[in-house]
Amino acid sequence: MARNYYETLGISRDAPRDEIKKAYKRLAKQYHPDLNKDAGAAEKLKEINEAASVLCDDKKRANYDRFGTASEGFTAGTGGFDFRDFSNFDFDFDNIFDSFFGSSFGRAQGQRRMHRGSDLNIEIEISLKGAAFGVKKRITLTRLDKCAECNGSGSRDNSLETCPDCNGRGVVKQTIRTPFGMVSTSTTCRRCSGQGRIITNPCKACDGRGRVKRNRKLEVEIPAGIEDGSNLRIAGEGEAGEHGAPAGDLYIRISIKPDDVFERQGNDVWLNANIPFTVAALGGSIKLPTLDGEAELKIPAGTQAGTVFRMRGNGIGALHGGARGSQNVRISIAVPESLSRRQRELLLEFEGLSKSKNYSVDAKKGFFDRIKGAFNE
């Protein structure tokens, strides 16, 4: 066989052992007949095994490098590793590889597999009011639930038998031939999928799986104060586990619909109120919306544009109890766009009585403080 082992593995002649292992691992995966259905994959895998078995052995490699053959005694391709042995494995290449090249003997023995059910993720949209006061939402989930017929055991009469293949250990020990000699390895028992027990009388409702797909209605309580984008975890409301294993969790992502009137900032809400200039000058009261319904707000005489009034307790509820936030009302002043003749006369008279007709400049002192929201409570 004049095959070039280095080319087979796609490595250079001076490749260190680590690199050979890496190349072997990658190629073995690529051409393994369980994964690669191409005609010739099995043959290719044989070549890869042969190349690796020579190049990973320093003596054989030295011989091969010098004489183009591994040794007199070594006939490449025969007596070596039979790839069909792969099919007896739990398909775990790290284990396979370790058992070729080293020390590890696979998974710890006696370790049974219990597969917890999958987590589920959903999204719920709520209103700002819902976030302010908390809200209950009804949802319907389609999920794998514990089979009610067999209580998740998968067995019609609860009769389980110790798996004869692994004697209840969930793993089987095998001794296999590899290019590097006899190696023993532990793999998950195929018959019982690592459960250690087999069902003698499978439940008809779930085919022995212990789970069935169902529509499930749930009522979810969304707490006051919840933030947009937060996740609620509801333990145990995900999918049921296999063979009675614990269920996964349900994760609910909360999105809060933007409100037409209020803007949220933490537990406060903000609102802009555009009030008539006469109310600003003379004082009075205005009606305005709050999360709790319509309310009245007193406007003191001489209120300036940009003033912020804080209405305590009209904001969003606190997430873990405690006081609600505030509703902050920012004042803007509506100047009439047209005046009647009489209104104009009155305003001209008003102007005549005013001390100054000039504007004043207040950008230097206090102006920014005022627009940042000097609170007037």
Task: Provide the minimum distance between the beta carbon of 74 and Zn ion in the complex, in angstroms, as a whole number.
Answer: 38
Backbone dihedral angles phi then psi of residue 53, each to the nearest 5 degrees = -65, -30
Task: Provide the minimum distance between the beta carbon of 72 and Zn ion in the complex, in angstroms, as a whole number.
Answer: 45
Contact flags string 91-130 toward Zn ion, x per CB under 5 A: ----------------------------------------
- Of the pair 98, 165, the CB lying nearest Zn ion is at 165
For position 147 contacting Zn ion by CB under 5 A, the verdict is yes
Q: Report how far apart, in Å, the C-alpha atoms of 153 and of each of 161, 172, 246, 339 are.
A: 13, 23, 12, 83
- Of the pair 191, 257, the CB lying nearest Zn ion is at 191
* DSSP secondary structure letters along 32-75: -TTT--STTHHHHHHHHHHHHHHHTSHHHHHHHHHHSSS-SS--
Residue with tokens 């799986």: 209
- Stretch of 13-21, 141-149, 305-313, 317-325 contacting Zn ion, by CB under 5 A: 141-149
What is the dihedral sign for C-alpha 257, 258, 260, 263?
positive
Residue 301's Cβ-side half-sphere holds a number of Cα atoms within 13 Å equal to: 1
Angle at 269 between CA 265 and CA 271, to 5 degrees: 120
Contact flags string 197-216 toward Zn ion, x per CB under 5 A: ------x-xx----------
Give the span between the Cα atoms of 263 and 332, in whole angstroms: 16
Q: Which of 70, 163, 224, 291 binds Zn ion (CB under 5 A)?
A: 163
Q: Which of 150, 183, 222, 224 binds Zn ion (CB under 5 A)?
A: 150
* DSSP secondary structure letters along 116-144: PPPPEEEEEEE-HHHHHH-EEEEEEEEEE
- Stretch of 81-89, 188-196, 222-230, 344-352 contacting Zn ion, by CB under 5 A: 188-196
8 Å CB contact between 137 and 253? no
Q: Which of 85, 92, 149, 228 binds Zn ion (CB under 5 A)?
A: 149
Task: Provide the minimum distance between the beta carbon of 118 and Zn ion in the complex, in angstroms, as a whole number.
Answer: 18
Task: Provide the minimum distance between the beta carbon of 162 and Zn ion in the complex, in angstroms, as a whole number.
Answer: 8
| Closest to 73 in 3D by CA, of 61, 82, 60 | 60
For position 191 contacting Zn ion by CB under 5 A, the verdict is yes
Task: Provide the minimum distance between the beta carbon of 146 and Zn ion in the complex, in angstroms, as a whole number.
Answer: 8
- Of the pair 183, 203, the CB lying nearest Zn ion is at 203
- Of the pair 52, 166, the CB lying nearest Zn ion is at 166
For position 254 contacting Zn ion by CB under 5 A, the verdict is no
Backbone dihedral angles phi then psi of residue 173, each to the nearest 5 degrees = -100, 135
- Of the pair 203, 269, the CB lying nearest Zn ion is at 203
- Of the pair 48, 144, the CB lying nearest Zn ion is at 144
| Closest to 328 in 3D by CA, of 276, 258, 273, 251 | 273
Q: Report how far apart, in Å, the C-alpha atoms of 130 and of each of 89, 223, 270, 276 are.
A: 54, 9, 17, 32
For the beta carbon of residue 266, count every other beta carbon within 10 angstroms.
12
Task: Provide the minimum distance between the beta carbon of 257 and Zn ion in the complex, in angstroms, as a whole number.
Answer: 41
Task: Provide the minimum distance between the beta carbon of 211 and Zn ion in the complex, in angstroms, as a whole number.
Answer: 8
Size of the site for Zn ion (CB under 5 A): 12
- Stretch of 6-14, 145-153, 230-238, 298-306 contacting Zn ion, by CB under 5 A: 145-153
For position 165 contacting Zn ion by CB under 5 A, the verdict is yes
Give the span between the Cα atoms of 80 and 53, in whole angstroms: 8
| Sites of contact with Zn ion (CB under 5 A) | 147, 149-150, 163, 165-166, 189, 191-192, 203, 205-206
